[in-house]
A = this chain, B = another copy of it.
């Protein structure tokens, strides 16, 4: 099939052309589009729920487990929540046009670096139709078109949602084509999206470590990794007992299924006798299964033996590894070896150790005396949850709307030459 008649390429070209109009749209018109999307979702609840029922039925037939079916489910409450989330994006500042820096050169040329949209964002995620709306809203506000690949499990829900979004965007005089879904092109569509240089400016995978790894390996389009979190809490020799207990419990149990939840507890040998029995008892009382090394198990009979795989496992559940280390150096070496560079926290009263930990741990967020759960765009005051980048290029840590933009240099002269 020639490129001219290729329906997949046609989809990408529509996104590109819709994005071009969006790139120079005013904040007021983009906000109007978002409000129209929120209203559109509320008005289309019966239709969306019906389409979602098809996905759920197919999911049950295909033997999806209860957790996946729950992630797939859209009911009236969740849809009203989604509409509310879209309205929250309206309240965020528009990053487009922000001047990052600028100066006047000696020859009188004025240069300024301003934020501009990427162009078209590709989003690859799995069976979460709410992400369709989230990513579309964040892309629109930042002036970007978006090509959505939400996976076949949510295909019917995504189709209706994208239709609602396209109509809403068009209704305010912008180009609804800026938002596209490629679910019906299946796995081949996902593969082609990863190689769609020239059509898509950046790919953002959201989902399992396996999905993200596939995208990173296969993609020729630049990728922003929003990665897995093997997150460590290190309880230093001088740690305060109550503070350590509160931080460890919160980091592990507050919301165990998310990437900033702690997976491994490291305890300094000099604090183990004083603190480990209490920390272990608290965690176990909160329903956590502990897998520990031999030294840790010496302080609590309820800690199960840990295999080597424990230290590189992201449980995302009420399971935690526990290890006793001889020193700050040993803790740093363990983190260096096993961390996914998301978030690590030290609990300590020792100033020098706190500063060494902050300086030497190479993670997106490095904390002293705080729960790892604070690595979050909302907590950091960014107001939107684009994801948490675990890569070092472009964005690292919680991403706000500015991280969905690039910049360009505007150069205003009066005839200067070199």
The interface bits of chain A over 394-410 (1 if a CB of B lies within 8 angstroms of the residue's CB, else 0) are: 10111000000011111
Select one of B24, B358, B367, B396 contacting A359, CB under 8 A: B24
The reply on A92 being an interface residue by CB < 8 A is: no
A371/B222 contact (C-beta < 8 A), A105-B381, A202-B393, A365-B408 known: no
Select one of B247, B362, B381 contacting A417, CB under 8 A: B247
- B370 near A240 with CB under 8 A, answer no
- A406 near B396 with CB under 8 A, answer yes
Chain A residues numbered 345-378 whose CB sits less than 8 Å from any CB in chain B: 345, 354, 358-360, 362-371, 373-375
A198 nearest CB across to chain B (Å): 11
Q: For the complex, what is the distance from the CA of A394 to the CA of B391, rounded to whole Å?
A: 11
The reply on A216 being an interface residue by CB < 8 A is: yes
- A411 near B201 with CB under 8 A, answer no
Report the nearest B residue to A413, measured CB to CB.
Answer: B370
The reply on A8 being an interface residue by CB < 8 A is: no
The reply on A227 being an interface residue by CB < 8 A is: no
27 of the cross-chain contacts (CB-CB < 8 Å) are: A24-B359, A105-B379, A109-B374, A119-B392, A202-B392, A202-B393, A222-B391, A242-B415, A246-B415, A247-B415, A249-B417, A251-B417, A254-B418, A362-B408, A365-B409, A366-B410, A369-B416, A370-B412, A371-B417, A371-B418, A374-B411, A374-B413, A374-B416, A374-B418, A375-B409, A394-B394, A396-B409
Select one of B220, B375, B411 contacting A365, CB under 8 A: B411
Question: What residues on B are CB-neighbors of A398 within 8 Å?
Answer: 409
The reply on A69 being an interface residue by CB < 8 A is: no
Chain A, interface SS category:
mixed
- B201 near A392 with CB under 8 A, answer yes
Question: What residues on B are CB-neighbors of A53 within 8 Å?
Answer: none
- A406 near B392 with CB under 8 A, answer yes
Q: A202-B392, A368-B413 are in contact. List 11 more A-B contacts (CB 8 A).
A: A23-B362, A118-B393, A222-B391, A242-B415, A250-B417, A365-B411, A366-B408, A366-B411, A369-B414, A380-B409, A393-B406
The reply on A103 being an interface residue by CB < 8 A is: yes
Q: For the complex, what is the distance from the CA of A381 to the CA of B112, rounded to whole Å?
A: 12
Question: What residues on B are CB-neighbors of A369 within 8 Å?
Answer: 412-416
Nearest 9 A/B pairs, CB to CB: A370-B413, A250-B417, A392-B406, A394-B394, A367-B411, A243-B415, A365-B409, A222-B393, A371-B417
- B411 near A103 with CB under 8 A, answer no
Report the nearest B residue to A410, measured CB to CB.
Answer: B358
A379/B222 contact (C-beta < 8 A), A367-B413, A374-B411, A406-B393 known: no
- B109 near A416 with CB under 8 A, answer no
A418/B365 contact (C-beta < 8 A), A216-B220, A408-B397 known: no
Question: What residues on B are CB-neighbors of A412 within 8 Å?
Answer: 354, 358, 367-370
